[in-house]
Structures are given as structure tokens and as C-alpha cells.
Amino acid sequence: MSNDVHNSRRRRSTEQPTLKQVADAAGVSAITASRALNRPDQVNERTRARVLEAVERLGYVPNLVAGSLASARSRFIAVIVPSLANSVFIEVIQGLQETFEAQGYQILLGNTEYDLEREYQLIRTFLGWSCSALVTAGLRHNEACRTLLANCDKPIMEVMELGEALDLNVGLDHTEAGRCMARHLLERGHRQALFIGARLAGDYRAGMRYAGHREVFEQAGLAAPLLELERGGLDAGATGLERALAEHPGIGAIHFANDDLATGALLHAQRLGLEVPQKIAIAGFNGLPLGQHVTPRLTTIRSPRQAMGELAAMEVIRRLEGQRVLRRQHDVGFELLVGNST
């Protein structure tokens, strides 16, 4: 029953100095030291200097976990994408990351692998980290996700596409992009066009582009056949071309779901000695540098992916800082790049 009882329970986690030790070294209270670091304008300039000196001398590293628990704010931003293998998401992440990092937010990156159940688990985990906001690629979520997101009272930003969003939304209209390219193909005189995509169940935005493409062709009284591949990438593009030639003999143009497929096909056409666009026209989507460097230059649609990430991050930050959000939805648009492949 002596007063050293609670010494026996000691369990300092590390030997790192704590804020209390810094405060003692600077001759102030812990809360003043805390303010000196986090709200510099609330402490006297000379006090702050003493605290900073103590921080430096002791090699103090703030325990952000403790700070987050106490304040119930974490400066974490959850970012959830379906894949890291696709450079499209990487560019959006880059835009998000730069902007958030500059404002002192840390991204928590989650990869669903196109699995909505995994998305739910990731969101749970990220909410457990008291993230300040969530950014997801796309508008499709399962019921559980939707409930979780609707009840969590944090800014939710859905990027990539436009539509019925939960909260904030920055993206572009993929159906319209599909229409745009289809119209271009029609203008170029292609009456027989094939749309080729890969794993469209996952890449449903490509599916939306096909829907737009189909709409335009059918309104013109033309067929809009679809060919779905098992995989993406340059290789798959070559395969797609082979299959198109075999399965759709009369075809004059191929509208690929993305530039990787399209460029793979274009390079393969060269190897086969098939003239592009005379024998076969090829179009892509994304506006990757790759497609702009091959000969003939690829006709494609460029979307401002990095800018989309930046804008999304800025809107989230605006919301977090309590500023009024003017518009919940932003259309970042797209641009048709007419090359020599159509």
C-alpha cells in the first residue's frame, strides 16, 4: 500500500522524450509547449523560442498518435483506388498527394483491387484512423460502404467520373467522351467500328465510354460491336487487333478503351505491315505520352488527371477548413487529340 505502487505499472513505450520533458526543459507547462508547436501565434515569441530550443536539444519528435487521440483529428486523408497498376490512378494520386501534403495532410492509400468488399474493409480501417476525409475513385460502392460513408460526417470526395455523388464530386463524363470519339470516327467516314475493352466489369468507366460510342453509332443506324479482352496492356492490344481481324473481317476502325491497348495494337499493326489508318483506324483514350510518340500519332482523348487530383484535394481542404463549398460537383472535361491513326 505504499506510494510506489504505480511505479510497478510503468510502461513507457519508447525512450523518446515526451512533450512534458520538453516543457520541463523549457520551464513551461506541457500545454504551453503544445501550443508553441501547434498554435505558434498563441504563445509569446520568447517562450516559443525556448520551447523550440528544447525540442531541438532533446531531439523531440511529436507523438502524432497521442495528439490525434486527444484532439480527435488526424490530418489523414483516405485515398481509395481500385488499382495501382493503372497509370491513370497514379496520376490522380500524384495530384492529390502533392496538394494534400503541401497542406500538412498525410494520405492513407488503399487499393481495392476492384473488389467492393475490400473497399468496405478499407473504409472501416481508415475511419478507425480518424481520417479527416475520404477520397474514392469512382461512384460505385456496395451497400455497406454507402451506409458507412453516409453516416461518418466527414467530407467524401468521389473522383474520376461524374454522377450522383454522396458528397463532393470531381470528374468527367465518360459517356460523353465515348460519344465524342464515336462522332470523330463517323466524321472520318468509318461506318464499321469495333469497341475493344478489357475486363469491363471492373473498368466500368470504359463500359460507360462504350455506351456513349454505341449510342452514337446506333443513332446513325450502324452496328456497334464490342470485343472484351481478359487482360489489359500493350500485349493485350496486339491480341485485340488479331482477334478483331479474325472475328470482324469487315471492320475499318477500332475504338480501344485506353491508350495502352490502342498503342499495343498500333505497334502490332506496324509489325504486320498493316497500314494505319488506311487499312485500319485506331483510337484510344487517356492521352498518354506513349501514344503521342508513335507514328502515326494516336487519336485519343486526354483527361486532366493530375489536375483532377489537385482540384479534388483543394475542394476537400476548403471543406475541412470550414469554407463554404461553392459547387459540390466539378466537371474537369476532356480533350479530343486528333492524331494520324484515324
Partner DNA sequence: CGCTAACATGATAGCGCTAACATAGCGAAT
Partner DNA sequence: ATTCGCTATGTTAGCGCTATCATGTTAGCG
Rounded to the nearest 10°, the torsion over CA 141, 76, 95, 116 is: -20
Q: Answer for the pair 149, 124: CB distance below 8 angstroms, yes or no.
A: no
Q: How far is the CB of 107 from its own copies (least distance, A)?
A: 6
- Count of positions on this chain that bind its own copies (CB under 8 A): 52
Q: Which does 31 bind (CB under 5 to 8 A by kind): its own copies, DNA, none?
A: DNA
Question: Which residue from 170, 124, 171 is spatially nearest to 318, judged by alpha carbons?
Answer: 170
For residues 169 and 137, what is the distance between their CA atoms, to the nearest angstrom?
10
Nearer of residues 71 and 295 to DNA, judged by Cβ:
71
Q: Answer for the pair 151, 128: CB distance below 8 angstroms, yes or no.
A: no
Binders of DNA in range 48-77 (CB under 7 A): 62-63, 66-67, 69-73
Q: Answer for the pair 143, 131: CB distance below 8 angstroms, yes or no.
A: no
> Quick one: which segment of 186-194, 215-223, 276-284, 290-298 binds its own copies (CB under 8 A)?
290-298
Q: How far is the CB of 102 from its own copies (least distance, A)?
A: 11
Q: Does 294 bind its own copies (CB under 8 A)?
A: yes
Cell numbers given for 76? 489523414
Nearer of residues 14 and 278 to DNA, judged by Cβ:
14
Q: Does 20 bind its own copies (CB under 8 A)?
A: no
**Orientation angle between helical segments 30-38 and 45-58, nearest 10 degrees:** 100
Question: Which residue from 164, 159, 171 is spatially nearest to 146, judged by alpha carbons?
Answer: 164
Among 238, 254, 283, 313, binds its own copies (CB under 8 A): 238
Cell numbers given for 138? 469512382
Nearer of residues 145 and 182 to its own copies, judged by Cβ:
145
Q: Does 271 bind its own copies (CB under 8 A)?
A: yes
Q: How far is the CB of 131 from its own copies (least distance, A)?
A: 10
For residues 271 and 276, what is the distance between their CA atoms, to the nearest angstrom?
11
Residue for cell digits 485519343? 300
- Count of positions on this chain that bind DNA (CB under 7 A): 36
Among 3, 10, 246, 278, binds DNA (CB under 7 A): 10
Half-sphere exposure of 227 (CA within 13 A, CB side): 25
CA distances from 244 to 83, 130, 138 (A): 27, 50, 30
Nearer of residues 33 and 139 to DNA, judged by Cβ:
33
Q: Which does 168 bind (CB under 5 to 8 A by kind): DNA, its own copies, none?
A: none
Q: What is the DSSP letter of 103?
A: T
Residues in Cβ contact with 337 at an 8 Å cutoff, skipping those fewer than 6 apart = 287, 292, 298, 299, 300, 301, 302
Q: Does 29 bind DNA (CB under 7 A)?
A: yes
Nearer of residues 7 and 13 to its own copies, judged by Cβ:
13
For DNA, the binding residues (CB under 7 A) are 5-6, 8-14, 16, 18-20, 27-32, 34-35, 37-38, 42-44, 47, 62-63, 66-67, 69-73
For its own copies, the binding residues (CB under 8 A) are 13-14, 59, 61-66, 68-69, 72, 74, 84-85, 87, 90, 93-94, 97-98, 101, 106-109, 111, 124-125, 127-130, 148, 151, 153, 233-235, 238, 263-264, 267-268, 270-271, 289-290, 292-295
